[in-house]
Amino acid sequence: MPYFKNFVGVLWFSLIIGNVNFTPGGLLRFVEATSSPSPKFICYFTSWSTNRTGPARFKISDIPSSACTHIVYSFAVLNSTSLTMDLSAEVDRALIDQVTTLRSNGTKVSVALGGWADSENGTKYSTMINHGHLRTNFVHESVKFLRRHGFDGIDLDFEYPTCWWGNCSTGPVTDKNNFANLIHELRAAYRFYGLLVSVAVAGDVEIVKLAYDMPRIARNVDWIGVMTYDLHSTLSGKTGHHSPYMGPHPNTVDSLDYWINQGDVPPSKLVMGIPLYGRSFTLKDTTVHGVGAPAGQGKAGSFTEEAGFLAYFEFCGAGWSHVEISGVGSYALRGDQWVSYNDVSLLEQKMKHVLQYRLGGVMVWALDLDDFNAQFCNQGRYPLITAMKNALSSSKNSTV
């Protein structure tokens, strides 16, 4: 009973000073009473996009450093032998030098370690994090790696502790605790050099439960990037939105609320993941094309060349029809090809959420997938990123 009386007193006081809010799901959540700093705008740069041909080829000069507070170079890999950070074979080291020169504009430049492809071999990541001496060596060598190449920090993207490649029966349960141990040890070492530590985490709550010690991670990182995309698989046999704001579960609000309400994570540490691409499907019957229509994996794009995946610039132009489902997402349709994506209207709604709930910001995957050079959409340069930046700037001081 004394605890309950204290809680009521704190709640009443909090209501008076205005630092308590309710999430969209109705759960109680405390927020900072003071004004929040400007949201981070974290931009992932993919090294392979510079190898494309024609109008889809991305150049360093295309990076909108004035829009990005942080740029994350993707990817470094984990060396299978030494279990330390390494550059993938196809990386042009001169490219790294070009990207890190953007630090002169005040933009921070980190490097992402892992990614979906490198996480396929979950064994090497699990081995490293589950042995103290290997973690110590990784931390030590990573400092040298970052300083040698001029990076401001590391972005950990092991997909995922315990749930390798999304399969939660593959990795040991010890991954969860020892991944948090690695992050704690990185923070202890990086603090001396002023280096950043961030982490990209799953958007699927079922994976989050098994993969992450949420409070410990939050204490030791500069931000947690929640990958609130790819939430509906193209292998499901039916169409669906892969990054819905609300609506079908899982969705963006569910993911963020779970970290806040179940993980006891400050909203200011959370960064909302935004896809600048769509997930594509091939309809079984072109006369049945709503959400949930029977479908298989979509055809590869002519530039991105990956089945089930299309850059925004590959479906924004002529020949595609577009259908918006308010509060959920949009889909584009051409013949038997169906693509779920986030349009400008939905992105503006997501930006309002970032501001209202005082999240740490947004991260976009990836720069080269928007119409970065205004060659395809007839919407100007970077139409999606521009819409998000404008939404964040116009309501910068918004409160709930």
Quick: pLDDT tens for 247-296: 989 999 999 999 999 999 999 999 999 999 999 999 999 999 999 999 99
pLDDT band of 121, cuts 50, 70, 90: confident
How far is the C-alpha of 166 from the C-alpha of 203, rounded, in Å?
A: 11
Tokens of 323: 């259908």
- The helix (H) or strand (E) run that includes residue 141 is helix 132-149
* Residue 15: DSSP 8-state: H
Reply yes or no on whether the pLDDT at 12 is more than 60: no
- pLDDT of the residue at 88: 78
How far is the C-alpha of 104 from the C-alpha of 66, rounded, in Å?
A: 11
What is the per-residue DSSP string for 173-236?
THHHHHHHHHHHHHHHHHHHHT-EEEEEEES-HHHHHHH--HHHHHHH-SEEEEE----S-TTS
Average pLDDT value for residue range 213-240: 97
- pLDDT of the residue at 23: 42
- pLDDT of the residue at 36: 60
- Are 273 and 228 in contact by the 8 Å Cβ rule? The answer is yes
List residues with catalytic annotation: 159
- pLDDT of the residue at 11: 38
How far is the C-alpha of 138 from the C-alpha of 76, rounded, in Å?
A: 13
How far is the C-alpha of 8 from the C-alpha of 11, rounded, in Å?
A: 5
Delineate the domains of the chain, giving CATH numbers in brackets.
37-48+63-275+342-394 (3.20.20.80), 283-334 (no CATH)
pLDDT band of 51, cuts 50, 70, 90: very high
Alpha-carbon radius of gyration of the chain: 21
348 burial level (CB within 10 Å; 0-12, 13-18, 19+) = middle
Reply yes or no on whether the pLDDT at 91 is more than 70: yes
**How many residues are present in the chain?**
400
How far is the C-alpha of 287 from the C-alpha of 256, rounded, in Å?
A: 36
* Residue 91: DSSP 8-state: -
Q: Which residues of 165-184 are buried (b: 16+ CB within 10 A; e: fewer)?
A: ebebeebeeebbebbbbbbb
